Amino acid sequence: MNFDDTPQEAAFRAEVRGWIDANAPTHLLDALRTSGFGGLNLGDVDPITLSKDWQKKKAAAGWACLHWPKDYGGRGATPIERVIWGQEEGPYGALGGVFIIGHGMCGPTMMAYASEEQKRRYLPPLAAGEEIWCQLFSEPAGGSDLAGLRTRAEPAADGSGDWIINGQKIWTSGAHYSDYGILITRTDPTVPKHKGMTMFFLDMHSPGIEIRPIKQANGQSGFNEVYFTDVRIPDAQRLGAVGDGWKVSLTTLMNERLSIGSGMSTGFPELFDLCMRIETQNGLAVDDPAVRSKLATWAVRTTGLKYTGFRALSALSRGEIPGPENSIGKLVAGPTMQEIAMFAEDLQAQAGVISDPDIAAANGRFQAMLMRSPATRVEGGTDEILRNIIAERVLGLPADIRVDKDVPFNQIPTSGRA
């Protein structure tokens, strides 16, 4: 049991470190380090441009999408090599944020279902960051219940074989700066919900697409609503068979899990730092037994997540598939971050209401955390959905009873007051 690289891993790490030291945008380092909740603060320069620059540089040297095949713009690297890259890229990795969905979800889906010609056309520019992709899955009527989606795809009346899309998607990250997207639609509302869906990819600049940013409770806008009015998609851009959309979407969602060992933040180190500087009625916070008893639980949750990640890395390093342990990451980190934010506010007492980063303690980090953490407990799976996943996939307990399983989609009730 040790934290050391194997010789091969060490050699790879050295190569990576060498290249990054020589090529990384060091002038952005501080800004990237201090960028807190929601988006990068890189001064006047457009973060998208900076992100594309860094990605292009990586691609040129063969460091983009390490785990993808070389033919599609990747490096054909092993999973552990990908992790080592991530560790070495460090703060610069934040510049890859705009590509995460494209590289992590859209790319793999294209690889699994697009034609060879399409893969050679779309994947390399996606890998190189020249084209940004988004994922159009969630809908107002389908949050936790993704398969409840209603966006219709119907054959064009002109017999061209094209599909006409009408409907609305929601929670689409980066829709406003994306060039392409993968879109799941309902092509047959008369069959049970999981059977009538079909997946496509489309040009986000197509006529009939309207994008509206969603203002979040914390005032930021990381997500969008996307409206489709008679948007036309060629049948050649269908991914998988008609009616197989659910199966295709699972491929996409499964790839979400592959970002392992990233170690979700709980905010504990920041809280501990605050406790070293702020006073309670009993003196320095970190010396107040009441504070200590609370800190201890958050400390062990934080290290527990960290070392759970290390266990998964070890499995990768041995060429094994990591166990289900990682499914606990967000379920632990989300609520913990919210508890920590509320307690950090408690420590600041009356002055804790101040959110101005230039005035508030810890540059307003905890006020931002307070307002952002509720979203963390919902996005990409609510705490409740995650507990269901652990109970069913890890512990083997039965699925919830599904009243809508075998009901034609258009006969499923849509209002609780009905």
Partner 1 sequence: MNFEFSDEQKQMAAEARRFLAAKCPTTAVRAVLEGPEPYDKALWKGLADMGFLGIVIPEQYGGLGLGYLELCVIAEEMGRALAPVPFSSSVMLATEFLLAAGSDDQKARWLPRLASGEAIGTFAFAEKAGAVTPRTIQLAAANGRLTGSKTAVPDGQIADFAIVAARTGTQVSLHLVDLTAPGVTRTPLDTIDPSRGHARIDFADVEAQPLGGPEDGWRILTQVFDRAAILTAFEQIGGADRALEMARDYALERMAFGRPIGSFQAIKHMLADMYVSATLARSNGYYGAWALSTGAAELPEAAATARVSATQAFQHCAKNNIQVHGGMGFTWAFDCHLFYRRSNLLALNLGSLSQWEDTLIARLRARNAAA
The verdict on 342 binding partner 1 (CB under 8 A) reads yes
Question: In the annotation, is 116 catalytic?
Answer: no
Q: How far is the CB of 243 from a second copy (least distance, A)?
A: 28
List the one residue out of 137, 80, 68, 78 whose CA is nearest residue 104: 68
Rounded alpha-carbon distances, angstroms, from residue 127 to 100, 105, 135, 183, 259: 10, 12, 16, 20, 16
Cβ 283 to a second copy, closest distance in Å?
A: 10
**Closest approach of Cβ 341 to partner 1, in Å?**
9
Pick the binder of partner 1 from 278, 333, 337, 340 (CB under 8 A). Answer: 278
Q: What are the structure tokens assigned to 346, written together? A: 């408690």
Which tokens in the block code for residue 139? 């809908």
Listed in sequence order, the residues at least 6 apart from 149 whose beta carbon sits closer than 8 Å to its beta carbon are: 137, 138, 139, 141, 142, 167, 184, 185, 186, 197
Residue 203, φ and ψ in degrees, nearest 5: -80, 120
Contacting residue, 21, 46, 145, 235, with partner 1 by CB under 8 A = 145
- In sequence order, the β-bridge partners of residue 280 are 283
- The Cα-based distances of 33 to 37, 94, 201, 267 in angstroms read 12, 9, 35, 15
Of 66, 123, 332, 337, the one binding partner 1 (CB under 8 A) is 332
Q: How far is the CB of 295 from a second copy (least distance, A)?
A: 11
Task: Give the residue with the Cβ less far from a second copy, 207 or 289.
Answer: 289
The interface partner of residue 392, options being partner 1, a second copy, none and the CB cut-off 5 to 8 Å by kind, is: partner 1
- Name the binder of 116 from a second copy, partner 1, none, CB < 5-8 A by kind: none
83: amino acid identity, one letter: V
Of 58 and 330, nearer to partner 1 (C-beta) is: 330
Tokens, residue 157: 């009346």
Q: Does 101 help bind partner 1 (rule: CB under 8 A)?
A: no
- Is 101 in contact with 174 (CB distance < 8 Å)? yes
Select 231 or 285, whichever has its Cβ closest to a second copy: 285
Nearest residue (CB) to partner 1, 218 versus 237: 218
Closer Cβ to a second copy, 238 or 294, answer by number: 294
Minimum Å gap between C-beta 416 and a second copy is: 8
Min dist. Cβ of residue 400 to a second copy (A)? 9
- Dihedral over Cα of 235, 236, 242, 245: its sign: negative
Interatomic CA distance for residues 8 and 81, integer angstroms? 10
Question: Beta 209-214 vs 223-233: how paired, if at all?
Answer: antiparallel
Tokens for 384? 């409740």
Among 51, 138, 172, 178, interactor with partner 1 by CB under 8 A:
138
Answer yes or no whether residue 331 interacts with partner 1 by CB under 8 A: yes
Among residue numbers 149 through 188, which ones bind partner 1 (CB under 8 A)? 170-171
What is the Cβ-side half-sphere exposure of residue 120, based on CA atoms within 13 angstroms?
3
Amino acid letter for position 128: A
**Residue 407 contact, options a second copy, partner 1, none, Cβ 5-8 Å cut-off depending on partner type:** partner 1
Contact set with a second copy (CB under 8 A): 282, 288-294, 398, 401, 403, 416
Nearest to residue 214, comparing CAs of 28, 23, 362, 38? 38
Under DSSP, is residue 165 helix (H, G, I), strand (E, B) or coil? strand
Residues 349-378 that bind partner 1 (CB under 8 A): 349-356, 359-361, 367, 370-371, 374-375, 377-378
Partnered with residue 166 across adjacent β-strands are 152
CB under 8 A: which stretch of 88-96, 115-123, 210-218, 241-249 binds partner 1? 210-218
305 binds, among a second copy, partner 1, none (CB under 5 to 8 A by kind): partner 1
State the minimum distance, in angstroms, from the CB of residue 180 to partner 1: 24
Considering only the C-alpha atoms of the chain, give the largest distance between any 2 of them, rounded to a whole number of Å: 78
Contact status, residue 153 vs residue 238, Cβ threshold 8 Å: no
Smallest CA-to-CA distance from 235 within 353, 115, 135 is with: 115
Q: Which of 154, 256, 325, 345 is catalytic?
A: 256
Q: Is 5 in the site for partner 1 (CB under 8 A)?
A: yes
Q: Which is nearer to a second copy, 7 or 398 (CB)?
A: 398
What's the rounded Cα separation, in Å, for the pair 310 and 125? Answer: 33
Which residue, 203 or 404, is less far from partner 1 as judged by CB? 404
Number of residues that bind partner 1 (CB under 8 A): 112
User: Which one, 59 or 295, has the nearer CB to a second copy?
Assistant: 295
Q: Which residues are tagged catalytic?
A: 256
